[in-house]
């Protein structure tokens, strides 16, 4: 494509000027296969290969041991983890990239086998009714979580703040708070999983209190220009919809305007939505409400991404699976080249296969 594509134009995001508007979306890949759950040399190679993105957002990284719910996922709460991530950020920066770390706590989406037999924690005694792979390598059913006490909620807020400080110490350009996909923050937001009677339960402002305490603590720790937030208003994976989804997310996203974040990252609906007053066009609806920098995600290809930027639907577009099999995705977009297909069988398997062994674009492979 000879004409400049909107996706490939610079954009200001928080404290930074990005070289393009293509974002590598956060994707769990299960490669931290060591006792410390720390990034390895494979993570260094994987993220460095994809430094052509305007912004990389890493896979979710636990802010505490309590936040673990999947095998071999890296954290950001120990010296070994910080040291491992520092090698990643140095490699990405050496190739001219920008990288944010996603701060993660899975809450109820876990199993006692990850916690020495102790129950996972959540807003309430919530069971996501899912099957989890546990450290022994077998699948087990989730169980009802233990409700965090009011004081424990305050500690988790501080865990997010410390995770953000650790990320900056590891050389990250900023952090993305994971408030999506049915994990702990979303478990507090929705009345399907939050039946608390203290200041974190009841009406929408109370259920949103935990999210905003996390946002405020992280902003205080690292600055608003280095803080993003991901939400998935229509997602029901791990967590049923709120009784009034639009009212909940209208409140939350309008209130985010007061915080001056680097960005809001929204997942569009993956398919048709119904019931519970859910918004069908997530990005379109919330573009009218949110006044800051907006990243959209879910189901975009190159042409749809360019249209989203050109129309003002969003400021940046995040791509997930295309970045797995196309480490040079931005170059392929620029050349109008065909994309390589990803192999789902290797998304979560150990080692380099399906992780760092996808070939970059050959000069002749241009559409």
Catalytic residues: 183
11-13 and 16-18: which strand pairing? antiparallel
Residues linked to residue 101 through DSSP beta bridges, in sequence order: 175
Nearest-angstrom CA–CA distance, 66 and 45: 28
**76 CB-near residues (< 8 Å, 6+ apart):** 61, 62, 63, 82, 85, 101, 103, 163, 166, 167, 170
Q: Locate all alpha helices (DSSP H) within the chain, ordered by sequence.
A: 41-49, 79-94, 150-169, 184-189, 204-207, 209-222, 245-256, 282-287, 302-310, 321-325, 329-335
d(CA 163, CA 154): 14
Instruction: Tokens for 230, please give them.
Output: 């991901």
Task: Point out which residues pair with 121 in neighbouring strands.
Answer: 146
- Cα separation of 176 and 74, whole Å? 15
CA 47 to chain centre: 15
Torsional sign, CA 277, 283, 285, 286 = positive
303 DSSP 8-state letter:
H
- Encoding tokens for residue 20? 């393009």
Q: Are 13 and 262 within 8 A, CB to CB? A: yes
- DSSP assignment of 227-293 equals EEEEE-TT--SSSPPPTTHHHHHHHHHHHHTTS--SEEEEEPPSS---STT--SSHHHHHHTT--S-
């Amino acid at each position: 494509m000879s004409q400049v594509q909107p996706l490939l134009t610079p954009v200001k995001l928080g404290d930074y000027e990005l070289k393009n508007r293509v974002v590598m979306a956060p994707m769990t890949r299960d490669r931290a296969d060591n006792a410390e759950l720390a990034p390895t040399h494979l993570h260094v190679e994987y993220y460095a290969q994809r430094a052509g993105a305007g912004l990389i957002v890493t896979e979710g990284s636990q802010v505490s041991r309590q936040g673990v719910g999947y095998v071999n996922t890296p954290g950001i709460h120990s010296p070994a983890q910080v040291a491992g991530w520092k090698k990643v950020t140095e490699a990405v920066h050496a190739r001219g990239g920008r990288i944010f770390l996603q701060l993660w706590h899975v809450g109820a989406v876990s199993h006692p086998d990850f916690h020495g037999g102790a129950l996972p924690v959540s807003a309430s005694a919530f069971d996501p009714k899912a099957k989890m792979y546990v450290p022994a390598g077998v699948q087990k059913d989730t169980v009802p979580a233990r409700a965090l006490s009011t004081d424990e909620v305050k500690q988790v807020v501080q865990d997010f703040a410390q995770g953000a400080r650790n990320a900056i110490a590891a050389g990250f350009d900023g952090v993305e708070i994971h408030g999506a996909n049915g994990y702990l923050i979303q478990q507090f937001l929705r009345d399907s999983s939050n039946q608390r009677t203290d200041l974190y339960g009841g009406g929408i402002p109370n259920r949103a209190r935990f999210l905003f305490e996390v946002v405020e603590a992280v902003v205080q720790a690292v600055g608003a220009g280095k803080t993003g937030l991901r939400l998935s208003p229509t997602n029901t994976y791990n967590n049923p919809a709120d009784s009034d989804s639009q009212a909940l997310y209208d409140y939350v996203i309008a209130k985010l305007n007061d915080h001056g974040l680097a960005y809001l990252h929204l997942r569009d609906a993956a398919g048709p939505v119904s019931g519970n007053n859910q918004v069908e066009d997530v990005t379109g609806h919330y573009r009218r409400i949110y006044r800051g920098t907006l990243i959209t995600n879910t189901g975009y290809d190159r042409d749809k991404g360019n249209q989203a930027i050109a129309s003002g639907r969003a400021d940046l577009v995040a791509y997930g699976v295309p970045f797995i099999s196309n480490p040079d995705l931005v170059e392929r977009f620029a050349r109008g080249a065909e994309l390589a297909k990803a192999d789902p069988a290797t998304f979560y398997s150990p080692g380099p296969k399906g992780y760092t062994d996808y070939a970059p674009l050959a000069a002749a492979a241009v559409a």
